[in-house]
Structure 1
Amino acid sequence: MKGYIKRQPWLVWLSTVFILVVVIGVIVSSTAWGANIMRQGRSLYYHYVPQAGTEARYVRQLVTPDMAHSRIIMWETSKATEEPVVLYKEAGASDSTIQSVPATMDTLQEDKVVRYIYRAELTQLEPNKTYEYQVGQNVITNDWHTLQTVDHRNFVALVFPDSQSADYRGWHELVETAYTKNPEATFFVNMGDLVDNGESASQWDAWFDAVEPMIANIPLAGVIGNHEYYSLDWQMKEPTAFDTFFKFAAPTAKPDSKQLGDSSRRAFYSYDYGDVHFVVLNTQFQEMNDTYREAVQAEQLAWLEADLANTKQPWKVVLMHRDPFRYPHTKAPNTVPGINEIGDMFMPTFEKYKVDLVLSAHYHMYRRRGHVENFERSATGPYYIVTGVAGDVKYANIWMDHPLDEYKSPYLDGDNYLVLRKQANSLMVEAYLADGTHFDSVILTK
Structure 2
Amino acid sequence: MQDVSGVVWLLTVLGIIGLLLFDFFVHVRRAHVPRLREAALWTGIYVSIAILFGAGVWVFGGSTMGTEYFAGYVTEEALSVDNLFVFLLLLGSFKVPRADQQKVLLVGIAVSLVARTGFILLGAALINSFAWIFYIFGLILLVTAGNLVREKDRDSDDEAPENVMIRLARRVLRTSDTFDGDKLVTYRDGKRVLTPMLLVMVAIGGTDILFALDSIPAIFGLTQNVYLVFTATAFSLLGLRQLYFLIDGLLDRLVYLSYGLAAILALIGVKLILHALHQNNVPFINEGEHIGVTEIPTVASLGIIVGVLLVTVVASLLSPRGRARTYAAAARRRANEFLEIEKDPTYCDEVYHLLLEEERNLQSLPERHRERIRQSELADLLRRAHRVHAERVAAGHCFVQPEPSAA
Structure with larger RCO (C-alpha < 8 A, sep 6+): 2
Whether these two folds match at TM > 0.5 is no
Give the structure with the higher percent helix: 2
Provide the TM-score with structure 1 as the length reference. Answer: 0.27
